Structures are given as structure tokens and as C-alpha cells.
A and B are shown apart, each in its own frame.
Chain A
Amino acid sequence: MSTAAASSQDPKILKIFENLRLMLKKHSREQFAGFFNVEGVTIQDIPSQGNKVLGHILSSILVQGMGFRITLKYHSDLAPMVPLCVKNMQVNPDQVKERMIRDFLREVANLVAGAMRADLGRNNVDAGISLPMSTRGFDEVFFRGTSQRISTTQTCEILWESTRVVVTQLVEISEESSLDAMQTYDPSAKGNADDIFETLMTTGA
């Protein structure tokens, strides 16, 4: 393995970062809409928020391969998630509990990570995903970020009616060439739905 000599500002790296951002947005929007069975979900970039608390709850999951790691986080308050849970579970708003919302957000993180892993695989990048974890949004304050020279944090928000979920993606590259194949990533390419299923089955998630 060669030591990374490039920086986060190299055109090649910037292209990879941009494609990973597109991949995140594509799968976040698709999986969110698919999981909750809703239409009209939009996703847009927002400026990085630093170590601010971006929501009451936080679901995180890692996508990791040889020489890179992507940390995905989904931040949301409870109240804006209630209408989605009501629609999805056919329950009354007062029956929606924090645990239920945590489970939903954890599952969204899991599905997006699974889809990303499948997409990376289609681009000849091997990766594995961790188990999703749900904690309080406050924990973001203590998130130490990265010591990697090649890294970026991308932030966007998923919007559906009054629901807002903030998504952050920290990409860390320790091996410069590990994501080279992602330079030619085509976000419009249709993946096989079975890929995600297979991904989730093989990780046991």
C-alpha cells in the first residue's frame, strides 16, 4: 500500500468526494421514501454544522473498505418524525414512542449503508457495513472527527412535509487509491434491488 500523498483538494479526490455526496443523497432520498412509503421526499445540501447538536436522536453506521471509511449519521428531532410513523404504522400520534422513532431512523441508516455498499461493489470497491447504532443527538458534541489528511464532511437534509432529517457523511481516506473507481460513478445507474438485500443478508443486519 502506498502512503497517501494527495490532499482533500486534489481534483481526483474532489471528484470522488462529489460522487460520494451524490451517492449519499441518491440513496438517502430513495431509501427514506421507500421505507416510509411516501412521495415528495427531497434532499438538499446544507452547510456543515460542525459539532452542533443536529437533532434529539442520532443514528450512525459505518461503511468501511480497505483504505477508506464513511461514517453516516442521521439526526432528527422526535416531533417531526411523528407524522411519518403515524403514516407508516397506522397508529395515533400519541402511540408513537421515542423507541419507535429510533428504530425507524436506525433502519433508514442501515438501508442507506446497504445500498451504498452495493453501489460501491458495482464500482469494484469492496466494503463492509457495521451495525447501525442509535444514540442521543447530544453525543455529536463529543464526536472527534478525523485525523486523516484526506477527508471531508458532507451535510444534507431530507425533507418531507414538516419532517426534516439531517444527514452527515464523514469520508476518510487513508489509502489514496482505495476509492479511485468512484471517479466514474454514475448516480443515475439503476442498481439491482437484490444487491441491497444480499448486502444486508451477508452482513447479518
Chain B
Amino acid sequence: MEFDYRAFLHANARVMEMLETAKSHADTMIDRLPACLAVVDENGVILRGNEELAKLLQLSMEATTNKNLLQMLNAESSAQLSAALQTSLKEQKTVQLEIPLGERDPSEKAIRPIYRWSLSPYSDQPELKLTSILASDVTALRQMERRSVILNDLPLGLLSLTPQGKVGEFYTVYTAKLLSSDFSHQELEGKTVKEVLFLEDRNLFTQEETDAIQKLWSLGQCDSKGFEDVARALPKMVHLPRPGAEAKDPGRSVRLHYQGVFANDRVTQVLVIILPVPLTFG
């Protein structure tokens, strides 16, 4: 039987088309990665960049090729990234660092974007001295952390309640102190409002307040108007035990303020702001 060259070539063409398509999919995946990706040589010259990197450098994706990444950053960032690049190559290990981009604002008013860079040697062919770099914007995260630290030290209590009326998260160190020293952070989460805020053995609630507290268990169904009605009726001041005090001690008073957090006009959580009152009952 004669060898069918035409069929042989068609089969090969088909296989090559499949390979090209598969590679094209892989390339597209890298191109559209929601983080900056670059493969650079030992001098920091970009050999392959993706769309996010192009956006960061304000270039088209293909224009990033053969540009020196280090020269496109400010001197301070460039020096840091260059040192990380050399360390990664020399020690053949992944190096991670955070670098603020853009020029420093002398007045410190402008926020400089912060990127987290992860540099890994391209170990497949070490003789090429290539490094793959992944960078993502962590500005919002770092800002949130900074705010969180400030929030944490505020001299008031702040906790969130789930729509089921249970303690979700609390945001200040002072919260546990105000509620009761008996609760550790872990213990507080998941407790009901009746266990931590509205202690019946220390408070005499009106019927309206009791009804409102009861409604905290079904706030998930509430819209903003419904929440306002419940919040208006909730107790504005409660008495909580003082750390280390006898059971008969009247405890301390705290003021409460309720703030609803909404999504699609439905309560997703309630923030309870707890303010110490410099008066002791009894």
C-alpha cells in the first residue's frame, strides 16, 4: 500500500493547529492574569509582559517587550527591585518585597501605590538567567490595615452583629474590655446579643426595647426603613458587669449606637458602637 503523503501532511497540520491553539490559550491566560506578570533577563529587560503590566507601565502589551523594567521605576524602587532580582538569581530562590511606586510626595498627602513583587528564578533553563516577576497592587490592603490599626486603638467598643443577632466581628481592643473582661476575643464571636449586651439580670428593659431586641434575630428581612424603626426602639444605654467586681456590683454603663450595613436595601450586618459613660450606676 502506497504511503499517503497528503493524509500524513493533513494529520500533521491538524496536530500543529491543535498545539498552536493550546499554546494560544495558555498565552491568553497569562496575558489576562489579574496581576502584573513579567519575565525579565538578568538586567531587568522585559522579555514577556502581560496586560496588567502594560497598564501599570502605561504602554501597549507589545511595547513592554525589551524595555528595562528597572528604568521605568523611580530610583528608590528600582534599586530595591534590582537588589531583589540579583538575590533571586544568585540564590535561586523566590524573593518577595513591597515597593511604593511613583515619586514621593514631599507633603506626604498623595498616596503612592504599593505593589507586592514576587520574583522567582526561571529554573527551567537557569543558564538563561531569567526571572519571572508577579506584582499586584496592595495599596488598598495596606491602607485598610493602617486604618484597622487606628480603629483597633480607638477608646470605644465596636462590634458587628450578624442578621441573626449574633456577634460577628469586633474591631477595637476596647470592645472586649467594655463588654466584660471575662470574654476572650474568641469567646465573644458567635455569642448572642443577650449574652454580651442586653444582660437581663442587670437591665430592666421596656416592652418596646424587649420587642426590638427580639427583632434583632430576623434583621436579614429588614430594609432601611424597617431597620430604622428597630434601631430607634433598641436600648440606648445598658449596664454591664465590671471586670473582677462582685456579682451584686451594679457594673458600668455604656451608651449604644446602632448603624445598619446594607446590601440591596437589606440589612447584612449591624454595627454597634459602644461608648463608655463616666458614671456608675448604683
Instruction: Check B60 for interface membership: any CB of A closer than 8 A.
Output: yes
CB-CB < 8 A to A204: which residues of B? Answer: 5-6, 9-10, 13
**Given contacts A79-B62, A141-B128, A204-B5, are A53 and B47 in contact (CB under 8 A)?**
yes
User: Are B6 and A133 touching (Cβ within 8 A)?
Assistant: no
Knowing A133-B20, A134-B20, A204-B9, the reply to whether A52 touches B62 (Cβ < 8 A) is no
A88, CB-defined interface residue at 8 Å: no
Partner of B62, one of A56, A133, A135, A141: A56
B23: chain A residues at CB < 8 Å are 135-136
The chain B residue with its CB closest to the CB of A137 is: B65
A205 to B5, CA, bound (A): 12
* Interface status of A203 (Cβ within 8 A of chain B): yes
Of chain B, the residue at the smallest CB distance from A139 is: B23
- Complex CA–CA separation, A16 to B209 (angstroms): 100
B12 in the interface, Cβ–Cβ < 8 Å? yes
For the side of the interface on B, what is the size category? 20 to 34
Cβ distance A136 to chain B, nearest Cβ, rounded Å: 6
Measured CB to CB, the nearest residue on chain B to A99 is B24
List B residues 11-38 near A (Cβ within 8 Å): 12-13, 16, 20, 23, 27
Q: Is the CB of A203 within 8 A of B9?
A: yes
Chain B positions within 8 Å of A205 at CB level: 9
For B60, list chain A residues within 8 Å (CB). Answer: 79
Majority DSSP secondary structure for residues of B touching A: helix
A102-139: which have CB < 8 Å to B?
A: 131, 133-138
B125 close to A (CB within 8 Å): yes
Is B130 located at the chain interface by the 8 A CB criterion? Answer: yes
Shortest Cβ distance from residue B114 to the other chain A in the assembled complex, whole angstroms: 28
Shortest CB–CB separation between residue A71 and chain B, in angstroms? 16
* B89 interface hit (Cβ, 8 Å): no
For B13, the chain A residues whose CB sits under 8 A away are 131, 204
B242 within 8 A of partner (CB): no
Interface presence of A96 (CB below 8 A): no
| Complex-state Cα separation, A203 to B66, whole angstroms | 37
Residue-wise interface mask of A (169-205) relative to B, using a CB-CB cutoff of 8 A (1 in contact, 0 not) = 0000000000000000000000000000000000111
Residues on B with C-beta less than 8 A from A141 are: 39, 47-48, 128, 130
Q: Is the CB of B9 within 8 A of A138?
A: no
A78 CA / B39 CA spacing, docked (Å): 20
Return chain A residues, CB-CB under 8 Å to B27: 136
Task: For residue B247, give the distance in angstroms from its CB to the closest CB of chain A.
Answer: 73
Given A78-B62, A79-B62, A204-B6, A138 contacting B47 (CB threshold 8 A): yes
Task: Give the residues in chain A near B62, CB-CB below 8 Å.
Answer: 55-56, 77-79
Instruction: Enumerate chain B interface residues (CB-CB to A < 8 A).
Output: 5-6, 9-10, 12-13, 16, 20, 23, 27, 39, 47-48, 60-62, 65-66, 125, 128, 130
Q: 7 A-B pairs, CB-CB below 8 angstroms?
A: A77-B62, A79-B60, A134-B20, A138-B48, A141-B47, A142-B128, A205-B9
**A-B pairs with lowest CB-CB distance, top 4:** A204-B9, A56-B62, A138-B48, A77-B62
